[in-house]
Amino acid sequence: MKKLNDMKEFKRSLELFRECEQTKHDMITDLAVGQALKSCANIKDFQAGSRIHHRYASLIEKNNYSIGSLIDFYMQSKDVDNAQLLFDKLEKKTVAIYSIMMKGYIRNNQAQKAIELFFRIPNTDEKNVSSFFHACSQVPNEKTLELVKKVFSNLPDRYQNNEYILTNVFNVFIKCNDLSNAEKIFPKIATNAFSYGNFMNALNKNNQPVKTLSLFEEMTRKRIKLDATVSLLLLSACAAIGIYTVSQSIFEEIPKSCLNDLYIKNSLIDMWGKSGCIDKAKNTFESLSQPETVGYTSMINSYGLNGMGFDAVKLFYQMPANLIRDETYVCVLNACSHAGLVEEAQKIFATIEKKTEEICTTMVDCFSRLSLFTQAEEIVDAYESNHAPSPGMLMALLSGARNAKNSDLAEKTFHRIQKHFPQLKDRIVAASVLLANVYASIGQIDQSFSLKKQLSQSGLKKTSGVSYNEVNGKIYAFRAHDSSHPQSKEIYEEIDKINQELISHGHDYDSSWITRPLHSDETVESVLCGHSERLAIAWNFVVHPNASRIQITENLRICGDCHRATKLIANIRQCEIIVRDANRIHHFYRNGQCSCNDHF
């Protein structure tokens, strides 16, 4: 409403100026001209502004306020060249003029010029400093980040505690992914749904969903109401964590007024599906009056994640053809891949006119999981005949070779990855681990050990496993061999108890899944029992010895030994265990079976 009133005032101001031109021309001053130009800029009447400039050029030159208004007028009309000419002609430039130029550069997507101009200002003020940080937020990179830190650290205390300046600095840190510094500044700025949403968005993008939920707790304490944007970000965080109890608690906080929003409903389908609650995902999908691409694709993906390949394919064929996108094909092919529905995947793949890299990679994965390597390699060769090699495609092939214990194919594929992608360190590490696992699985222990040693000596490290779970309303994160938990002693005692139960039921620990050389104080048993998901399972039993349901989300693919062990644990303890790994959701049932049918 205030903006509407301002617009009315600007229009009225310009009308009064025109009246003066007609009846009291001799009373027009340089200040009046400046105000008229300001009004023209704000109501976007650029033709009138240009006329005023040419008619009153001599008056404008006498007053910095009028010149500033004219420069601002040209900047708002996107005529940066004329604004620059006026600015360059000025012999005495005030701080206000510098501020107008900086804002103009920013408005016209020339933030770098604003940054450079800042360092030419003799005496800066609050507006210049704020504009500088605002400009920096438009050029997010390492160089900008270091510059911001340097300028901010040298500011006087009155600026370092200025909320407006701090907000702009906070935005730079967010844009540059410096979340640790953003976290320090956040308590000092004005907090509302918008600022919380800004921070949550950055945390979600940087895989820190637990912190997003912590911010929501702060919002609740401060009685800041959720809006649709923040609700979407919370649902996204829940989808990343993938634990039903967490998702349910956040769902209950979403304002009822938002629940009919299409974006919210689509996010709910995604969240429920990734939390292993396929019935809730399906109910939400069916509540859509007219599903569109995102709704269909999210539901297909939910079926695929939970091992319901036939349902995914069925829904795909019900989907209107005009709504199908590349991501839809990827999701349905992925569902086929994880359910072993290779014939269905082939039929769908054959209908796709434009086969993107991701689509081809998913089809290679589908063939490779069933050890149909001839077909998989044909797709790789066909793709590479017109494109550069794809790291994802080759990794899918190598992963299949690992499952099939096919050392020849594994070696050949590993060397191709080494040759084409030496700069992709994460890929090299993952490929090395897979090849080492192949060697170990076929008894070539020396070669496996040698490869692991080379990897260790190179300084490259495998991504560490992290498992999330929720116990009594609190989210816990465990890393492999974690001892940071205050009740670590009880956790490892429970690990030992579970270990004895596994051995008594015939579990034989598989050393081929160990990805590094053993230390002198380690055994195959102790290393595998220290995997993050084992610690999370043990912690649940420490708190709830008779737990009937445990849910865990981990960032890596579950290893074969943990998969076999978890099936046994679910059977021995008569507890359903749900584990979402990097690829899919495993429902370990009390009968000792897994929803993936060991196809993972």
pLDDT of residue 61: 67
Number of Cβ within 10 Å of residue 269's Cβ equals 29
What residue ranges of the chain have pLDDT lower than 70? 1-8, 10-16, 18-31, 34, 45-46, 48-50, 53-54, 56-65
- Say what angle helices 262-274 and 244-251 make with each other, to 10 degrees: 160
The C-alpha atoms of residue 286 and residue 311 are separated, in whole angstroms, by 14
- Find out whether 488 and 259 touch, Cβ atoms under 8 Å: no
**Model confidence, pTM:** 0.85
* CB burial readout 505-517, b (16+ within 10 A) else e: eebebbbbbbbbe
Q: How far apart are the first and last CA of the chain?
A: 57
Q: Looking at residue 10, what is its pLDDT?
A: 65
Tokens (6 digits) for 103: 């804002």
pLDDT of residue 8: 67
Judge contact between 8 and 27, C-beta under 8 A. no
pLDDT in the model for residue 23: 58
Residue 550 near residue 576 (C-beta atoms within 8 A) = yes
